[in-house]
Amino acid sequence: REKVVGWYHTGPKLHQNDVAINELIRRYCPNSVLVIIDAKPKDLGLPTEAYQAVEEVHD
């Protein structure tokens, strides 16, 4: 059985639209992870960045 843990796109950067999309994904996967994969990396290594939303509580 598969389990969704988040979503990805081929960036190369985090954009404002990603926040809105992530909010939709979090309805079904509350602790979702967003992975951005740079399809045209300039450096050697694993061209990825991962993000997880953190809710802030302000009093």
Render each residue's pLDDT in the chain as its tens digit; 59 residues: 988 899 999 988 888 999 899 999 999 998 999 999 988 888 888 888 898 988 888 88
Domain range for 18: 6-52
pLDDT at residue 20, rounded to an integer: 92
Is 41 part of a structural domain of the chain?
yes
Is 59 part of a structural domain of the chain?
no
Which strand (E) or helix (H) includes residue 41?
none
pLDDT at residue 21, rounded to an integer: 92
Q: How far is CA 59 from the centre of its chain?
A: 28
Closest to 34 in 3D by CA, of 58, 11, 57, 1? 11
Is 58 part of a structural domain of the chain?
no
What is the number of domains present in the chain?
A: 1
What is the pTM for the complete model shown? 0.74
